[in-house]
Homo-oligomer: A and B are copies of this chain.
Amino acid sequence: MHSDTRDRDTVRQDTSVAARTGTVVETVPVSTPDDVDHAVACAAGAAGRVAATDPRVRRDWLLALAEGLETAGTRTALVRMADTETGLGEPRLRTELARCADQLRFYGEVAAEGSFLGATVDHADGARPDLRRLRVPLGPVAVLGASNFPFGFGVLGHDTASALAAGCTVVAKAHPAHPVTSRLLGHVAREALTGAGAPAGAFGLVSGFDAGTALVRAPQVRAVAFTGSQQGGLALWRAANERDEVVPVYAEMGTVNPVVVTRAGALRRVEVADGFVGSFTLGTGQYCTKPGLLLAPAGAGFPDAVVRSLERAAPAGWLLTEGIARGFDVGTRELEEAGATVLARVPGHADGWSAAATLLQARAVDLRPGSRLLEECFGPVALVVEYDGHGELERVLRSLPGALAASVMSNGDDDPEVPGLVAALGTRVGRVAVDAWPTGVATTWAQQHGGPWPATTVPSATSVGAAALDRFTRPVTWQSVPDAALPPALREDNPWRLPRRVDGKQVPA
């Protein structure tokens, strides 16, 4: 999930480029300032109506979007164009598109379930007035999706789906790594939403770097959602903090997601090495949850084992853009300059934005706060580091910056090191997995994707899972307000049949 800022110099005009060949597919017109103003004005104009809609109606809109994506002809066209633009391969993209449709349905169900509204009623009690609290939609949300998941984190990905579910209108920016795919998704959205009866301003699409900047500055935009690089996310966060009326920027950004192998887990050396290679080279290493650092007990033969796994697998793929390919070259050199040495490098393809999957080794003592070794390098590259005993491992874990996810590779449920490692990693990340790689992110009620700063600008937020909706609401309390002037969700007869907290007690729908 990566931003366009690294591509800015390369792809000035949303030129669609085939990742496998580096040849131009199509030049896509970029939005003019007037186009952006118009899209924002439409989103602002429809915001009240979308916010006032029963969430079950918005579920139907999201179901229509999912169906639109799954229409046979559309699906084929989307997967084919996304594969051309990204080089990620049709099988992966078919799965991703199906998951994108599932996400849309999931957020629709979360909206319909209604808990996200946090409806709370405290009846008057003696001198205490009647108080009723509800989370209300913020209004137009700007969505700046990711390069690496053209569907899952694209213009109809998690952010758009959860913002619509929460009752916000959306203006999404097409990603320059897949502008034609983005445009096709925009067509699907307009057709499906219109067909389902949503207002025209519920969803809009703009394109071009300047359009993204303009969205973040537009006074009517009430929140920004971004998935991508640290550099891109923090730039948006700073820009939003300069607004007259500051708005939240929910940026979830790529990190070095550490994997710790326990001493007993080292017995599973080959399996762990194979899994690590599979995970860090998945999607040509272009996952924000890529495990970028394997911490293995010294003397257990991990560097050699991972080298053998990498050479055996010999993964070859393409990076998404020329800018990302250049960033990968620079980044791997920087890792070497910071003290890492190359253990293995397997050749990629001959054409396009191909990348040579690279394994480096570094010393535990060099993993100090602020080191380049602890910053993400996007693409198929990872570090293996041997730790010498518990004390050294503890020191390294304390040095780790905040990350999205971490894994522990153990020798099963009785491994005595697991509880301590899970607890230690839990303070540094948003998700801890045991005997599972961090690259798989299911969309469920219990999922958390954001992690501590600098993984996420708002570490209490998540772009994946039911809580994704919470980002796009703010609570309002109504005090002594007559029933007829209350929003339906708070009226005494509960016409939306929501689960609510009444006088301190949870009351099911």
Residues of A within 8 A of B (CB): 113, 115, 118, 120-122, 128-129, 131-133, 135-136, 241, 245-248, 401-402, 413, 418-419, 422-423, 426, 429-436, 440, 442, 444-448, 452-454, 457-460, 462, 465-467, 470, 473-482, 484-486, 499, 501, 503-504, 506, 508
Contact = CB atoms under 8 A, between A and B. Distances in A.
Contacts of A465: 133, 477
A90 to B, nearest CB: 20
A304 to B, nearest CB: 28
Contact of A419 (B121, B245, B480, B485): B485
Given A133-B446, A482-B418, A476 B431 contact: yes
A432 B499 contact: no
B245 A447 contact: no
Contacts of A475: 430, 448, 460, 462, 467
A109 to B, nearest CB: 8
A444 B504 CA distance: 8
25 contacts: A122-B446, A122-B447, A128-B442, A131-B444, A245-B402, A246-B454, A247-B453, A248-B458, A413-B482, A413-B484, A418-B481, A419-B484, A422-B478, A426-B478, A430-B477, A433-B478, A433-B479, A434-B485, A445-B504, A448-B476, A459-B474, A462-B475, A465-B477, A499-B506, A506-B508
Contacts of A503: 445
Contacts of A248: 458, 460
A445 B128 CA distance: 12
Contact of A476 (B128, B135, B426, B481): B426
A13 to B, nearest CB: 34
Contacts of A135: 460
The copy count of this chain in the complex is: 2
Contacts of A431: 476-479
Nearest to A118: B467
Contacts of A445: 120, 122, 133, 501, 503-504
B245 A454 contact: yes
A8 to B, nearest CB: 24
A287 to B, nearest CB: 15
Contacts of A485: 418-419, 422-423, 434
A474 to B, nearest CB: 5
Given A120-B446, A246-B453, A485-B419, A432 B478 contact: yes
Contacts of A452: 245, 474
Contacts of A506: 115, 499, 506, 508
Contacts of A402: 245
Given A133-B465, A465-B133, A482-B418, A446 B247 contact: no
A435 B122 contact: no
B131 A446 contact: yes
A116 to B, nearest CB: 12
B245 A122 contact: no
A370 to B, nearest CB: 8
A445 B132 CA distance: 9
Nearest to A423: B485
Nearest to A464: B477
B479 A122 contact: no
A45 to B, nearest CB: 14
A473 B499 contact: no
B442 A460 contact: no
A122 to B, nearest CB: 4
B440 A129 contact: yes
A286 to B, nearest CB: 21
A215 B49 CA distance: 44
Contact of A482 (B115, B434, B466, B484): B434
Nearest to A483: B413
A120 B446 CA distance: 5
A508 B419 CA distance: 28
A400 to B, nearest CB: 12
A436 B479 contact: yes
Nearest to A473: B460
Nearest to A410: B482
Contacts of A118: 467
A470 B475 CA distance: 12
Nearest to A132: B446
